[in-house]
Amino acid sequence: MNWKFWQRRKDSDKPKKKKTKTREWVDAIVFAVVAATIIRVFFIEAYTIPTGSMERSLLVGDFLFVSKVNYGARVPMTPVAFPFAHHTMPFINTKAYWDGVQWKYRRLPGLQEIKRNDVVVFNFPEGDTVVLERQDDNYYQMQLRGETRQSIWSNFSVTSRPVDKRENFIKRCIAIAGDTISMKNGMAVVNGKPSPLIGTGGFIYTVEFNTSEVNFKLFEDMGFRIGATAFPTIFRFEGTPDLVEELKKSPFVKSVKEELSPEGEYDPLIFPHDINRKWNLDNFGPIIVPKKGWTVTLDSVNMPLYERSIRIYEGNKLEKVGNDWMLNDKKATTYTFKMNYYWMMGDNRHSSADSRYWGFVPEDHVVGKALFIWLSVDGEAKFLNKIRWSRIFKGIH
């Protein structure tokens, strides 16, 4: 008789040891975490609107579902990370990832390409360097406002973050790769055609009334945000162009004037921060959005626009030596882009930190497409009225 066969048969007849309750709970939790992580990374993720930059399309307190499938899920570039934490561990405020392992940018096949007017979630392009004590600020904009690099590094804790661990932003894609974008008196112009925001998009207006006895609750109910000025009959209204047309019909309104930065006025905070380009929030361009395979000349005209994309986003060594540009230690007169880029702007045009301040969004920074609102909470309302029921399951257009 085959003793080994008999022994295996005898062992297999023994009843398996039953898992303890603790072991069952541990297995269930591990399975749930793994499953949820896979869904979050490759399929769909929840996102919260923290600021008013997209009003009236999206409101502070809206909770969204963002699809990773539409544009193709991005394979994690920083794979070793704590589940469900983006870049910082809650409560202890330490890094929630280990950047000792970095994978190259790869994206699974998607259902569509990014289209103009899509509402897109992406990693903040200038979020590579972060001042931890002032995370609601921008390290590069701090320098443009007059703070020196030395003072920032001396007085604050500064860290760097990999692409997929930078802050998540949500904006509307105004121009795609290869488009020419400009702004004329507050109106976006794409490929020579005005691109107005219909039914959304906030602008600021100076409104003069012919009396100081005005029921502002009426205008607030229409959707305006109203601010006082030093004059008893003049106020600042924030609203959409279609609301302003209704406002002008009021017999109490004497005049309405949109507040715009005049053409030719230089704003150093506006991309590309070039004194030779007299650009501002409402008047800039034209700018060609880089496209994969597009070749640009390396000269004094183009480099303020494209140097950061070539050097930081595409990882090249780029420096100027005399009158020449050295690309990866070799003299170069042109550069061919390896990625597509996008121009993102908030609908609330005068209260939005967007591409007008920091330029292009590279394709490897794209997280996903905003689909619909699954919950909306008004933080300013009383407890019983906090949920905005009319916005639940509302699609995003």
Residues 110-120 have a mean pLDDT of 94
pLDDT at 388 over 50: yes
First to last CA, the chain: 76
Q: Which of 77-91, 196-210, 211-225, 345-359 has the lowest mean pLDDT?
A: 196-210
Question: Which of 286, 318, 336 is where one domain is finished?
Answer: 336
The chain-wide mean pLDDT, for the chain, equals 87
Residues 149-170 have a mean pLDDT of 93
Distances (CA, A) of 51 to 76, 171, 207, 342: 26, 11, 25, 21
pLDDT tens digits for range 192-213: 999 877 666 678 889 999 888 8
Name the token pair of 12: 């297999």
pLDDT band at 345 (very low <50, low <70, confident <90, very high): very high
Residue 367: partners with Cβ closer than 8 Å, 6 or more residues away: 45, 66, 68, 74, 120, 121, 122, 123, 168
pLDDT at 142 over 50: yes
pLDDT at 245 over 80: yes
**Residues 263, 126: Cα–Cα separation, whole Å:** 27
Q: CA 204, 207, 212, 213: dihedral to nearest 10 degrees?
A: -80
How far is Cα of residue 369 from the mean position of the Cα atoms in its chain?
A: 11
In a domain, 217, yes or no: yes
In a domain, 315, yes or no: yes
pLDDT band at 107 (very low <50, low <70, confident <90, very high): very high
pLDDT of residue 5: 47
Number of folded domains in the chain? 2
pLDDT tens digits for range 313-323: 999 999 999 98
Q: Which of 145-159, 241-255, 273-287 has the lowest mean pLDDT?
A: 241-255
In a domain, 213, yes or no: yes
pLDDT at 348 over 60: yes
Q: DSSP readout, 140-192?
A: HHHHHTT--HHHHHHHS-EEE--GGGSPEEEEEEEE-TT-EEEEETTEEEETT
Measured CA angle at 359 (ends 353, 364), to 5 deg: 105
CATH of the domain at 222: 3.30.70.80
**Residues 244, 364: Cα–Cα separation, whole Å:** 39
pLDDT of residue 11: 54
In a domain, 272, yes or no: no
In a domain, 312, yes or no: yes
- Decide which of 345 and 2 is more confident: 345
Name the token pair of 309: 């994309």
Domain that holds residue 244: 203-258
Please give the helix or strand (H or E) that residue 195 lies within, else none.
none
pLDDT band at 224 (very low <50, low <70, confident <90, very high): confident
pLDDT at 397 over 80: no
Question: Which of 317, 336, 355 is where one domain is finished?
Answer: 336
pLDDT of residue 201: 66
pLDDT of residue 180: 98
In a domain, 160, yes or no: no
Instruction: State which amino acid sits at residue 189.
Output: V
pLDDT at 6 over 50: no
pLDDT at 130 over 70: yes
In a domain, 214, yes or no: yes
In a domain, 240, yes or no: yes
